[in-house]
Structure 1
Amino acid sequence: MEQIIQLEKAANVRDLGGYIANNGIVRMNKVVRSASLSELSKHDQVKLEEYGVKKVIDFRSPSEATEAPDKIISESKAYFLPVFGHDETKVSISPQELLKQLEQGMTAESQMINVYRHFIEDEHAKLAYRKFLQILLENDKDNTSVLFHCTAGKDRTGFGAALLLDILEVDHQTIMADYLATNRYLNEQTEYMVTKAKEQGASDLLVAGVKDLMKADAAYLNESYRAAKEHYGSLKNYVKTGLGFSEQEIKDLQKLYLTK
């Protein structure tokens, strides 16, 4: 079961600890996934500081980060690692632009499938995820956490969480359950966006597109696994060959993030 961290002004904030792996249990207070930190309350900032968050990784695009900069967590170091040069996940896209793309025949679902392939195929994305794993390797003190996030904590963050859990040899069913849990924690936000769109006279096509963009779907994450298998044979080989991580570095990550 995922470990939610309840905050006042941030959603989908979860400790990845507690999951059972082949050779242990993922450590608590070591790595946290999250949605945007741009609206953290003072209470939230203090809570994350007390939780031991020392490094914050931002996967968002430059425009997303500029429009909604992270609130600072005291005693933490910030890393800006945009997975893409712009918001390919479409979470921050304007309704007008989304509708235009949908009317041109580009379904939201097909766009998201492309995004999840890009995590594997895009060179810029690979650089970001390699640096992500390097930062995790440096987190060698007990009860100190690396927090990583994007806008919704769903796609770029969801893939990052799946990548780490796969390296730690957590089973695929558990990894997928962690990924899909986002739908529960973003349900209120999604319903708000849908209601607002309807109030503004959005078409059924646009409303359906918003729902597709805001959901975590097994087909999306499985596309990353499929692309990794096509190009590298497996997600683990993507880590080795695509990201240039050695077998020893993988073992070091397992040692740091697993406990018996």
Structure 2
Amino acid sequence: MNDKGIVNFRDIGDVPVASGRLKPGYFYRSGELSNLNPQQISFLKNDCHLGSIFDFRSANEVEKAPDTVVPGTQYFKDDILADQTTNGASLAGMFANGGHIRDAMLKTYEEIVLSNSAQTGYRTFFNEIIQAKQPTLFHCFAGKDRTGFAAAIILKMSGASDATIMQDYLLTNKLRKAANAKLLATFKPQVNDKQLHNLSVALVVDKAYLLHA
């Protein structure tokens, strides 16, 4: 159970799959892990027993908000959208999408599937979790797009139903509600109404995005 305030955190295990139930305690997803407090660090280390952390963010995102070190874990920097000049899944990218935010999000999901950096990055990630067989946390900025697609693929490969996969994907909108409200309040004095609207749209996941991917 996550009662430590880590944004958009969850264990994607313990769901029905083809051979029974996906074992819990192995695949965790979340938003970025910057500025964790001692209780949160202890939770990840001692309760989740993490062996590895995969960070799907860009170098610029990592530089601005580096992950807090969790002792005993191996950290992998795995920039999924390194090939893209504009990363629509980053906070900066959400502001750069002009008036076509939904189209931009659909394009981002195409890049998550088709770009060379995404295919290489996800291949590295999947090979590692298959070989290491240890509890792993994977995340990006918001834990919704790059992370959401990775979780969907893990569940798909495990034999989960499409309904189960979509349920986990859309759970992000509930688990990020408070964090999204805080972000919007922070930026409201700094941006115009159109930019604020774009950000509010970009901060949530939509069933159409995952289906498009």
What's the TM-score, normalizing by structure 2? 0.92
Give 1:164 shift.
Answer: 0.6
1:91: Cα distance to partner?
Answer: 3.3
1:159–1:136 distance in 2 versus 1, CA, 3 Å: same
Question: What CA deviation, in whole Å up to 9, does each residue of 1:45-67 have, x standing for no partner?
Answer: 11111121010000000111111
2:81 is aligned with 1:84: yes
- Of residues 144, 150, 157, the one that matches 2:140 is 150
Instruction: Tell which structure's C-alpha radius of gyration is larger.
Output: 1
- What are the ranges of 5 or more consecutive residues in structure 2 without an aligned counterpart? none
- 1:136-178 deviations in Å (ceiling 9; x for gaps): 11233xxx41110001100000000001100011001110110
> Which residue among 101, 105, 108 is the counterpart of 2:101?
108
Q: Which amino acid aligns with 2:11?
A: D
Q: Spell out, residue by residue over 1:77-99, the C-alpha distance to the aligned partner (whole angstroms, 9 max, x if none).
A: 0111100126613432188xx2x
Which amino acid is 1:169 matched to? Answer: G
The aligned residue for residue 55 of structure 2 is 58
After superposition, the CA RMSD in angstroms is 1.7
Q: Which runs of 5+ in 1 are unaligned?
A: 225-260
Structure 1 match to 2:164 = 174
Q: Is 1:19 aligned to 2:12, yes or no?
A: no
- Deviation string 1:197-244 (CA, Å, 9 cap, x unpaired) is 33x1643322220111100110111110xxxxxxxxxxxxxxxxxxxx
Runs of 4+ in 1 over 6 A off after TM superposition: none
Contact 1:89 1:155 in 2 (8 A): no
Supply the distance in 1 between the matched residues of 2:144 and 2:14 (Cα, whole angstroms): 20
Distance of aligned partners of 1:46 and 1:213 in 2 relative to their CA distance in 1, 3 Å threshold: same
Partner of 1:29: 25
In the superposition, the TM-score normalised over structure 1's length comes to: 0.76
8 A Cα contact 2:13 2:23, kept in partner: yes
